[in-house]
Amino acid sequence: MSKGSSKGLRLLACMLVSAALIAPPALAAPDSDPAPPPRSDGKSGKKKQSEQRFQDGYRAAYATIYERGDYASGIDQLQALGRDDNASVATLLGYSHRKLGDTRLAQAYYERALKTDPNHVRTWQYYGLWQVEQGNRERAQYHLDRIAALCGNTACEEYTSLADAIGRGGGSY
């Protein structure tokens, strides 16, 4: 290897280390657009209005939780939707309860979300973060493997966020 290429490799390594130190830790990206409530009888005007109210209410709760960090108010807003059978709603309820320290209720909502939609990647991620916080690294790894299977790769944001948390060990995410 020539001196020039050795210097270039060292410079590249320094740049990568610097970028890793400067970059914020991978955080879970929120699920801002949940699936609408299921339709029972086609696209009537009332159904469209109901779907729009649901979407608007969910987005308002989402902003309360992720932008303002007001988990208790976000929980109230989500519960007012009456749709905790929706995987996105149940996951966000679990996330909010986890942030407030109610780990048992968080777990119950994550499990409800997965029962509703076993392929909801965000739920696997958040529940995996919960597992890391509880010290259940093997279970968190199981969640990570599920995410890889659902994403079809290990480059999706949910995978990298949980992999990073598992690598760091404990803490709150």
Tens of pLDDT, residue by residue over 28-83, are 444 545 554 444 445 567 778 888 999 999 999 999 999 999 999 999 999 999 99
Q: Confidence band (pLDDT; 50, 70, 90) for 91? A: very high
The C-alpha angle 63, 66, 70, rounded to 5 degrees, equals 85
Residue 132 reports pLDDT greater than 80: yes
What's the CA gap between 50 and 62, in Å, rounded? 18
Average pLDDT across the chain, whole number: 81
Q: Is the pLDDT of residue 20 over 60?
A: no
Task: Take residue 6 and report the two structure tokens written for it.
Answer: 């050795």
- Between 56 and 18, whose confidence is greater? 56
How many residues can be counted in the chain? 173
- Distance of alpha carbon 75 from alpha carbon 87, whole angstroms: 15
Round to whole Å and give the CA distance between 45 and 136: 47
pLDDT value of residue 42: 52
Assess whether pLDDT exceeds 80 at residue 170.
Answer: no
